[in-house]
Amino acid sequence: MTVKVRDRVEVALQKTGATVANASASVDGNGRVELDMPDLDEGGYTVVVNGTGFEKRAGVRIENPHIVFLETDKPIYKPG
């Protein structure tokens, strides 16, 4: 049996109990809540998801690696 749920879902990112980012959205069966991330210190955080009749928590680790994406117009890059 599949049950389709329509609800408002809230997502918060917390560090030592203080909320550092949050967002909410209405979902209809399934959906997505986009959470804008501020510049954060690396370390352990908690993601909290709330809806009618439930609350889920999960630990996450924030890391700030430097990523470089290079795209060329050649299938194999040949310097020079």
Domain 6-62: which topology? Immunoglobulin-like (2.60.40)
pLDDT by position in tens, the chain (length 80): 454 567 888 999 999 999 999 999 998 877 788 888 888 898 899 999 888 888 889 998 888 775 556 565 655 545 55
User: For residues 12 and 22, is the Cβ–Cβ distance under 8 A?
Assistant: yes
Domain boundaries, the chain: 6-62
Q: How far apart are CA 50 and CA 46, in angstroms?
A: 13
**Which residues share a beta bridge with 49?**
11, 56
